[in-house]
Amino acid sequence: MLLLVGLGNPGPRYAKNRHNIGFMAVDTIVHRHRFGPWRKRFRGQVAEGSVAGVKVLALKPATFMNESGRAVGEAARFYKLVPPQVLVVYDEIDLHPGKVKVKTGGGAGGHNGIRSIDSHIGSNYRRVRLGVGHPGDKERVQAHVLSDFSKHDQAWLDKLLDAVADEFPRLVEGDDGGFMSRVAHVMTPPTPKPGPKPGPKPGSKPGPKPAPKPEGEAEPDPTGSTQEDSQ
C-alpha cells in the first residue's frame, strides 16, 4: 500500500495558491486514475484507488500546512505503514517553475508542512518536489507561496499537473528516475536535430560537366555593345 499525501492549506481562499500545488497534483492524480470519491477521515480528506496493481490512499490534510503531520501520522499508524510507504507531494521554491525532483529523506528546507510530517513519522519518506520558483528575496517568500499562480503560470502548471498524473505509475513502481525523466521530457522537449542536407539520390549519375570555354573568347557584354559601337 502507498499513502499519497498532497500538501496545501484548506479552504477556497488558498485553493489557487502556489503553496497548494501539492493538493492540485493529488487532485489530478485521483481524477486521472479514477479513484473513489473523497471522504473525511484522518483529519483530512481521503480517496482510495489502485495504480499499477498497488492500493493507493490519497490524503489531503484538512489542518493548516504547519500541522500537516497530524493527519499523515494518524493515517500511517492506522494502516501500519513505514515511512518508505509514504509519498508526499509539495511546492519547492528552490526549483524553477515546472521542474520536478524526487528524493527520499533529507531536511525540511524551511517547509513547515514537511517539518510537521518529520515530527510525526520521521524523515525517511519519499518526496516529490514541484518547483514554483523563488521571488528573489527571502522577505518575499511567504507572500510568494501564499499568492495565486498568475495567468502566465497557467500554461506550464497545467502541463506539469498532467505530466505528474500521467507518469504517477512510475512512482508507484519505485521508478523515481524514470518519473523525473519523463516529466522533464514533457516540460522541456528536446530540440530536434537538423536533418541531412539534400543531395543526389542513391544510384543517380552526376550530370554532364559544362564544356570548357575556348581560349581567347571574349566575355559577353551585359550591355549588348560591341567593340565597334564604342568607337
Active site residues per annotation: 19
**Cα–Cα distance for residue pair 222/160, rounded to 1 Å:** 64
Is residue 98 within 8 Å of residue 159, measured between CB atoms?
yes
Is residue 186 within 8 Å of residue 157, measured between CB atoms?
no
Residue 136 DSSP class: S
Q: Residue 208's CB: how many other CB atoms inside 10 A? A: 6
First-to-last CA distance in the chain? 103
Burial state string for 105-119 with b = 16 or more CB within 10 A and e = fewer than 16: eeeeeebbbbbbbbe
- Residue 206 three-state SS: coil
Is residue 58 within 8 Å of residue 35, measured between CB atoms?
yes
Contacts of 29 (CB under 8 A, 6+ apart): 4, 35, 58, 164, 165, 168
**Cα–Cα distance for residue pair 164/162, rounded to 1 Å:** 6
Report which of 45, 50, 34 is spatially closest to residue 75, judged by C-alpha positions. Answer: 45
Q: Bridge-partner residues for 51, per DSSP?
A: 54
